[in-house]
Amino acid sequence: MNKIVLITGATSGIGKACAEKFAANKNNLIITGRRNDRLTELKTDLEKKFGISVLSLCFDVQNRDEVEAAFKTLPEQWHKIDILINNAGLALGRDSFEDADMNDWETMLNTNVHGLLYVSKAILPFMIAQKKGHIINMGSVAGKEVYERGNVYCASKFAVDAISKAMRIDLLKNNIKVTGIHPGAVETEFSLVRFKGEEQTAKAAYTGLTPLTAADIADTVFYCASLPDHVCINDLVITCTQQAGTYYFHKNQ
Ligand code: NDP
Ligand code: 8X3
pLDDT digits (tens, 9 = 90+) for 137-193: 999 999 999 999 999 999 999 999 999 999 999 999 999 999 999 999 999 999 999
pLDDT at 253: 87
pLDDT at 87: 99
Q: 140 alpha carbon to ligand 2 midpoint, in Å?
A: 6
What is the per-residue pLDDT for 153? 98
- Strands (DSSP E) found in the chain: 4-7, 28-33, 54-58, 83-86, 133-138, 176-183, 186-187, 212-213, 235-238, 243-244, 248-249
Residue 18 has what pLDDT?
Answer: 99
Per domain, the residue ranges of the chain are 4-242
Fold of 4-242: Rossmann fold (3.40.50)
Counting residues of the chain whose pLDDT is more than 70, the rounded percentage is 100
Please tell me the distance from the alpha carbon of residue 75 to that of residue 209, in angstroms, as a whole number. 45
Pocket test for ligand 2, best of 111, 153, 195, 207 (most atoms within 8 A of CB): 153
Q: What residues flank ligand 1, with Cβ below 6 Å?
A: 9-15, 33-35, 60-62, 87-90, 111, 115, 138, 140, 183, 185-186, 188-190, 193, 214
Tell me the sheet residues that pair with 55. Answer: 30
Query: Cα separation of 133 and 129, whole Å?
Result: 10
| Distance between Cα 173 and ligand 1 center (Å) | 31
Tens digits of pLDDT across the chain (253 residues): 799 999 999 999 999 999 999 999 999 999 999 999 999 999 999 999 999 999 999 999 999 999 999 999 999 999 999 999 999 999 999 999 999 999 999 999 999 999 999 999 999 999 999 999 999 999 999 999 999 999 999 999 999 999 999 999 999 999 999 999 999 999 999 999 999 999 999 999 999 999 999 999 999 999 999 999 999 999 999 999 999 999 999 999 8
| Ligand closest to CA 146 | 2
Cα separation, 79 vs 54, whole angstroms: 13
Against a cut of 0.95, is the pTM above it? yes
SS3 (DSSP) at 93 = coil
Active site residues: 153
Q: At 250, is the secondary structure helix, strand, or coil?
A: coil
What is the Cβ-side half-sphere exposure of residue 218, based on CA atoms within 13 angstroms?
23
